[in-house]
Amino acid sequence: MKRIITILVLISVAFLLIQCNNSKKKPRPNITNNNVNNNYNFDNPPIFRNDTELAFIDSETGDILFTIEAEVASNDTERARGLMYRTDLEENQGMLLLFSREQTQSFYMRNTLISLDIIYVNSDLEIVDIYDHTNPMDETSLPSKDVAQYVVEINAGLCEKYEIEIGDLIAY
């Protein structure tokens, strides 16, 4: 009888440890969009999806400078579309583009009606380059000056307004 009780106690403890461990894991954003529509245009713009929260962090003080709701673009189709065809974007909204590895990234503003700040971020989540106040509809390439694994797009002027600078960090 003691043996059965001991086994049941051990199983219960193991179960509790597994549950506690699972509850501490930070949920990752849902980066699979089963509703990808490749037929977006100016008359049929994509609707913003709030996939995750993203914070900009001052690298010197650790203070949060600004937080946005981010739509995540994790596949080639979503990354290529980016914020094209959008007629507006709330101040607290943006896009997080995920890449599988660090490399020089380059974007342009084709079919993008709103001016953006484009922020290049390395694999350590450190901001390595910023293009602020990009020109809507401009097809000039805007390459990162350093390798980046993430790109964040937000409304133009927000980097200046919230003092987001190269060297600062992001967290999502």
Residue 1: pLDDT over 70: no
**Residue 163 sits in which domain range?**
52-171
How many domains does the structure of the chain reveal?
1
Q: What is the CATH number of the domain that holds 86?
A: 2.60.120.1140
Residue 14 lies in a domain: no
Has residue 19 been placed in a domain? no
The pLDDT of residue 31 is: 40
67 belongs to a structural domain: yes
142-147 own/partner pairs: CB under 8 Å, 24+ apart: 142/106, 142/107, 142/108, 142/109, 142/118, 143/104, 143/105, 143/106, 144/104, 144/105, 144/106, 144/120, 145/120, 146/104, 146/120, 146/122, 147/102, 147/103, 147/104, 147/122
- Please report whether residue 80 resides in a domain: yes
pLDDT of 114-161, one tens digit each?
Answer: 999 999 999 999 999 999 999 999 999 999 999 999 999 999 999 999
The predicted-structure confidence for 110-123, as pLDDT tens digits, reads as follows 999 999 999 999 99
| C-alpha 148 chain-centroid distance | 13
Compute the average pLDDT of residues 32-39.
49
Give yes or no for residue 5 having a pLDDT over 80. no
